[in-house]
Structure 1
Amino acid sequence: MEAIRFAFLVILVVILGVEGQLGSGFYSSSCPRAEDIVRSTVEAHFNRDPTIAAGLLRLHFHDCFVQGCDGSVLITGSSAERNAQPNLGLRGFEVIDDAKSQLEALCPGVVSCADILALAARDSVDLSDGPSWSVPTGRRDGRVSLSSQASNLPSPLDPIAVQRQKFAAKGLDDHDLVTLVGAHTIGQTNCLFFRYRLYNFTSTGNSDPTINQAFVSQLKQLCPIDGDGSKRVALDKDSQMKFDVSFFKNVRDGNGILESDQRLWGDAATSDVVQNYAGSIRGLLGIRFDIDFPKAMIKMSSIEVKTDTEGEIRKVCSNFN
């Protein structure tokens, strides 16, 4: 009970910290059913395909890291952010469009696409047996979306120093980095992004020595050297549909699939956080991750937000007004 009370107080403090820009319950008067509609839409898509939860979480993350959390990743067009190389595998656009069309019918010109993204990310975690939290809302949609500005997105190939720099540039520290990467507990990736670790890591045909060798054999069966590089593999081999701490146990035990994830265990600062989450007392440490993840998400979803008269409220999420 004390842990739950502490969690609530910590999250409340974080929310109050961004209250000058965003506020909990922003649409309580202007569109009272806004959050319920987003939730029911996400739930309907989730019931058909539970993997969409990870897609929506990643979509929000990629949006916030370029131009801030302003829905710029949703814009279509040959030079738009959505078509940058790191964004080509993004999923969940149809869920956001579905929710937006319902909200426009009920409350035209009120609810931003950026806020729908933030709410959908929260609901995706909750539906995956993870924590829920009060999402500060009031974001407005950006009027710029350029693929050339997506170069700062984290990459599976990034060493810790580069990961740290990219997160720090957005006001996120080492603890935030590890906590947010924990979203990979429900994530997937393509064989293309890690197969090099299995067959030719040192250009001499060796596998990456940081991978548990028993796990190498399993991964080779999933991703043959001449197989389909677009085949999707769960980033958490133990509970891919459940938002829990098993991802951190995998990283600790050499069972991280992406090189950038496994490198978290090789750095003193980030490995301490991984160990704290992975630990040996599953229940208590699971609660701790449940406390930390909402805090990190509220912090990330407040990056460079547009409020008041900035930006616009799009009528269609994929197009500027």
Structure 2
Amino acid sequence: MGFLFARSSGYSFVALALLACVLLAPCQAAKAGLSIKFYAKTCPGVDTIVRSVVAQAVAKEPRMGASIIRLFFHDCFVNGCDASILLDDTLTFTGEKNAGANINSVRGYEVIDAIKSQVEAACKGVVSCADIVALASRDAVNLLGGPTWNVQLGRKDSRTASGTAANANLPGPASSGASLVAAFAGKGLSAREMTALSGAHTVGRARCLMFRGRIYGEANINATFAAALRQTCPQSGGGDGNLAPFDDQTPDAFDNAYFKNLVAQRGLLHSDQELFNGGSQDALVRKYAGNAGMFAGDFAKAMVKMGGLMPAAGTPTEVRLNCRKVN
């Protein structure tokens, strides 16, 4: 079974074509020994539990959907998809939660805790926190109107975390196009996959601190867009935590508006607009802006591939009973 599409997402007309794509596409997840049937006998209701909790969280606060997607990205980019981002600091290591790219940025830990609690009640000690994050991010995308896909499962949870690795591996809001390509290439992801995955910024918000430099100091920005943002993000300082949506047209809908905004020079972060700034990704951004189905298919396949990033061989792992601490 391949991609399915959410109601009113605008993608259903390409469902059959994308089904063929996902069935034929090779992925790192399969190579890593993961399987969509991993819990078929040991915890068959895990998908239902995860989706139910995520649906409640997104209904209460749509922004939470974007936060859960971000949680998955920021976990997988640091030593693989191992739920290391969920670990609280201990006396023996400084974890990832308070790394520069995560503090005041990554949210949704309590949603994962709620899922884990219900999953443990149904199937104690079986389902990893890393798999819960992967399933939750898929459901968050779909519940916001985007595509869905079969999640490869069977990950284990790391017994340690590294704030240093998080600071070294996670691209920042001031990243150049070249550095983004390089960062994703370092994870085995192509420039096309990087651009598709960046489309996750079609939902969510960013703090004023992350885009102040762009709205006051860059030329490749729509003047009306910049002026509106300046109302809540003063140049002189203050208001660092004030939020603005990545996509001010449909801020809580997972669609291809992010790419339309880039073409119109309405990218919120410097790193966003770098994807459409006279560089190698301009043509692809235009294609995604004009073809929602192409973006949906590429995004889903790239999420499966990113979900196949594994910890280094020899990394101590387990299935944590509490996602915030080792057993």
Same fold (TM over 0.5): yes
Give CA deviations for 1:64-84 in whole Å, capped at 9, x if unaligned.
000100000000016111121
The separation in 2 between residues aligned to 1:175 and 1:140, in whole angstroms, is: 28
Corresponding residue for residue 205 of structure 1? none
What does residue 5 of structure 1 align with? 16
Match of 1:286 in 2: 292
Q: Aligned residue for 2:251?
A: 240
Q: Say whether 1:158 aligns with 2:164.
A: no
Cα distance in 2 for partners of 1:309, 1:19 equals 20
Give the C-alpha shift of residue 4 in structure 1.
2.1
CA offset digits 1:178-220 (Å, max 9, x no partner): 1000000012100011112233x2xxxxxx1000112111111
Aligned to 2:225: 215
Report the count of equivalent residues.
309
2:163 alignment partner, one of 121, 126, 147: 147
Aligned counterpart for 1:182 among listed residues 199, 203, 208? 199
**Contact 1:15–1:23 (CA<8 Å) still a contact in 2?**
no
Residue in structure 2 matching 1:319, options 309, 312, 325? 325
Cα 1:306–1:136 shift into 2, 3 Å: farther
In structure 2, distance between residues paired with 1:129 and 1:291: 14
The one-character-per-residue Cα deviations of 1:9-44 (angstroms, maximum 9, x if unpaired) are: 221233676324111121111001011100001011
Residue ranges of structure 1 left out of the alignment (5+ in a row):
202-207, 280-284
Deviation at 1:137, TM superposition (A): 0.6
Q: Which amino acid aligns with 1:276?
A: K
In 1, the alpha carbon distance for the partners of 2:184 and 2:27 equals: 22
Query: Is the 1:188–1:235 contact (alpha carbons within 8 Å) kept by the matching residues of 2?
Result: yes
Structure 1 residues 136 and 310, CA, compared in 2 at 3 Å: closer, same or farther? Answer: farther
Alignment check: 8 A CA contact 1:314 1:320 kept: yes
Structure 1 pair 48/308, CA: closer, same or farther in 2 (3 Å)?
Answer: farther
* Aligned partner of residue 189 in structure 1, secondary structure: strand
Structure 2 vs 1, CA of residues 307 and 241 (structure 1 numbering), >3 Å: closer, same or farther? farther
Match of 1:98 among 110, 114, 121: 114
Q: Evaluate the alpha carbon distance shift between residue 16 and residue 161 of structure 1 in structure 2; reply closer, same or farther with a 3 A threshold.
A: closer
How far apart are the structure 2 equivalents of 1:310 and 1:137?
18
Distance 2:181 2:60 in 1: 36
Summarize the alignment of residues 227-306 of structure 1 with structure 2, pairs less than 5 Å apart.
227-279=238-290, 285-304=291-310
SS of structure 2 residue aligned to 1:110: coil
Q: What is the SS of the residue equivalent to 2:15?
A: helix
* In 2: Cα distance, 1:253 partner to 1:294 partner: 25
Instruction: Say if 1:138 and 1:307, in contact at 8 Å, map to a contact too.
Output: no
Q: Aligned partners of 1:310 and 1:227: how far apart in 2?
A: 43
Letter in 2 for 1:97: D
SS in 2 for 1:136: coil
* Structure 1 SS opposite 2:147: coil
Distance in 1 (alpha carbons) for counterparts of 2:178 and 2:295: 24
Candidates 40, 47, 54, aligned match of 2:52: 40
Structure 2 counterpart of 1:222, one-letter code: T
Could you tell which deviates more after superposition, 260-269 or 100-109?
260-269
Amino acid of the residue matched to residue 194 of structure 1?
F
**Letter of the structure 2 residue corresponding to residue 125 of structure 1:** V
8 A contact 1:235–1:256 mirrored in 2: yes
Offset at 1:266?
1.6
Say if 1:172 and 1:300, in contact at 8 Å, map to a contact too. Answer: yes
Query: One-letter code of the match for 2:220?
Result: T
The residue type paired with residue 141 of structure 2 is V
Give yes or no for the alignment of 1:137 onto 2:153. yes
Amino acid at match of 2:198: V
- Distance (whole Å) between structure 1 residues aligned to residue 326 and residue 246 of structure 2: 35
1:75 to 1:124, Cα distance in 2 relative to 1, 3 A: same
For the structure 1 residues 14 and 30, does the alpha-carbon distance in structure 2 shift closer, same or farther, using more than 3 Å as the test? Answer: farther
Give the superposition deviation at 1:307. 9.9
Amino acid at match of 1:6: A
Structure 1 window deviating more from structure 2 (168-177 vs 264-273): it is 264-273
- 1:144 to 1:168, Cα distance in 2 relative to 1, 3 A: same
User: TM-score under structure 1 normalisation?
Assistant: 0.92
The Cα of 1:297 is off from its aligned counterpart by 0.3
Alignment partner, residue 204 of structure 1: none
Amino acid at match of 1:253: A
Aligned-pair identity in percent equals 40
| Pair 1:45–1:3, CA change in 2 (3 A) | closer
